[in-house]
């Protein structure tokens, strides 16, 4: 178990001061007028013995950890997993590592996690926040940490945000259903005050209101136990036999909603038309395939990481806060009559 080399060992071996080596390592050689000959000698030796500076010591000194904290609702949800994947790739390309965690939409857990990230001195945060963490995030921001929010916005937090046009997405989807002749359209959503869920609901409500149609809304408490969702959806469908179409507010609501629908022996689209918010492999491959409102995952993650990297690169200029709202696509499949 050979111990790792330190900059001191290198300095001794080469009979040079640590200062000089540090300068060379950090690209200050020119500026500090270190002779070319010496620069060469040091670099050669370093490459030879494979010396790597201790990042902890470096971070302690500089205050930068080159780590980004990523907080999503649930990393095992394909939407977030895909976003995480793209953010990861991009971050690594730019020399940043990712510390991640799943919030479970749990306010207290999220507060703890924010504190953990803070203790770990992450340089920046990417957060899909639950409700109720406004103060914590504002504290982060005012202490100088760059924060980018995505998926759901917090109005009381003044920072960059990347999201989609939730209102327009459901509004269009419902109008599409209406144009196809559906008259009793249900909406299954989370009982959550998160901005994205509220906007989706409003889109649904507006579209119905314009056609003087009744609302049929089912709000389900957040749970990562599929059975909970299945039960709620089943009960809702049993109670509302008049429904001829239903829009699910998230992909996992839809996935488990499908289970409920199949359990009840309902046929899609004859007994019930279905649209899901967020795409999922299941929707493409089930038979019939399920119409979905698809988010531009690649652009979302691209914009998110770009905004954060920009902030990290030039922390000085207090640029205007950016709010990016991207468009979704209604991917029409066989689940509509």
Stretch that binds DNA, among 10-18, 82-90, 153-161, 251-259 (CB under 7 A): 10-18
Q: How far apart are CA 172 and CA 1, in angstroms?
A: 64
If the CB atoms of residues 36 and 156 are measured against DNA, the closer one turns out to be 36
Stretch that binds DNA, among 32-40, 125-133, 160-168, 297-305 (CB under 7 A): 32-40
Q: Which listed residue (75, 266, 324, 330) binds a copy of itself by CB under 8 A?
A: 75
Q: Which listed residue (58, 231, 259, 337) binds DNA by CB under 7 A?
A: 58
If the CB atoms of residues 61 and 241 are measured against DNA, the closer one turns out to be 61
Q: How far apart are CA 229 and CA 221, in angstroms?
A: 8
* Residue 19 interaction partner, one of a copy of itself, DNA, none, beta carbon < 5-8 Å per kind: DNA
- Residue 257, token pair as written in the block: 């909603």
Other beta carbons within 10 Å of 109? 15
Sign of CA dihedral 55, 56, 62, 68: positive
The H-or-E segment that residue 160 falls in is: strand 160-164
Q: How far is CA 299 from CA 35, 75, 150, 277, 302, in A?
A: 46, 19, 12, 17, 5
* Residue 119 interaction partner, one of DNA, a copy of itself, none, beta carbon < 5-8 Å per kind: a copy of itself
The answer to whether the beta carbons of residues 68 and 91 sit under 8 Å apart is: yes
Q: Please report, as residue ranges, which positions from 123 to 182 form the binding site for a copy of itself (by CB under 8 A).
A: 142-144
Contacts with a copy of itself, 82-121, as mask; x by CB under 8 A: x-xx--xx--x----xxxxxx----------x-xx-xxxx
Report, in Å, the least distance between residue 216 CB and DNA.
Answer: 55
Q: How far apart are CA 227 and CA 210, in angstroms?
A: 35
Report, in Å, the least distance between residue 48 CB and DNA.
Answer: 16
Report cis status (omega within 30 of 0) of the bond before 269.
yes
Q: Return left, alpha or beta for 221; rule: phi > 0 is left, psi -120 to 50 is alpha, else beta.
A: beta
Kindly state the DSSP code that residue 74 receives in the 8-state scheme. -
- Residue 71, token pair as written in the block: 């907080």
The site for DNA (CB under 7 A) is made up of 3-8, 15-20, 22-23, 25-26, 32-35, 37-38, 51-54, 57-58, 60-62
Binding-site ranges for a copy of itself (CB under 8 A):
1-2, 52-57, 59-60, 65, 67, 74-78, 81-82, 84-85, 88-89, 92, 97-102, 113, 115-116, 118-121, 142-144, 255, 258-259, 262, 280-282, 284-288
């Amino acid at each position: 178990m050979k111990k790792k080399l330190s900059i001191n060992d290198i300095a001794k071996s080469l009979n040079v001061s640590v200062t000089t080596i540090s300068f060379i390592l950090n690209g200050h050689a020119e500026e500090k007028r270190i002779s070319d000959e010496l620069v060469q000698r040091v670099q050669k030796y370093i490459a030879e013995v494979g010396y790597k500076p201790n990042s902890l010591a470096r971070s302690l000194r500089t205050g930068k950890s080159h780590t980004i904290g990523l907080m999503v609702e649930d990393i095992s949800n394909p939407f977030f997993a895909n976003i995480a994947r793209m953010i990861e790739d991009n971050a690594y390309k730019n020399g940043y590592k990712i510390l991640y965690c799943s919030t479970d939409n749990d306010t207290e857990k999220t507060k703890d996690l924010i504190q953990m990230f803070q203790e770990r001195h992450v340089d920046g945060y990417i957060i899909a926040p639950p409700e109720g963490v406004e103060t914590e995030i504002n504290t982060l921001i005012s202490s100088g940490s760059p924060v980018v929010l995505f998926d759901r916005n917090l109005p009381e937090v003044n920072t960059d945000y990347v999201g989609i046009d939730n209102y327009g997405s459901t509004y269009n989807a419902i109008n599409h259903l209406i144009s196809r002749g559906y008259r009793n359209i249900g909406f299954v959503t989370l009982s959550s005050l998160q901005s994205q869920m509220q906007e989706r609901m409003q889109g649904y409500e507006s579209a119905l209101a314009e056609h003087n149609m009744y609302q049929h809304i089912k709000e389900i408490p957040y749970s990562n136990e599929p059975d909970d969702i299945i039960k709620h959806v089943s009960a809702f469908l049993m109670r509302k036999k008049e429904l001829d179409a239903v829009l699910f507010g998230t992909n996992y609501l839809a996935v488990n909603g499908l289970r409920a629908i199949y359990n009840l022996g309902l046929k899609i689209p004859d007994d019930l038309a279905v649209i899901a918010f967020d795409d999922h492999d299941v929707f493409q491959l089930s038979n019939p395939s399920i119409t979905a409102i698809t988010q531009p995952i690649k652009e979302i993650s691209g914009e998110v990481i770009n905004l954060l990297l920009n902030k990290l690169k030039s922390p000085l200029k207090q640029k205007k806060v950016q709010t990016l709202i991207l468009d979704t696509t209604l991917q029409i499949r066989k689940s509509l009559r």
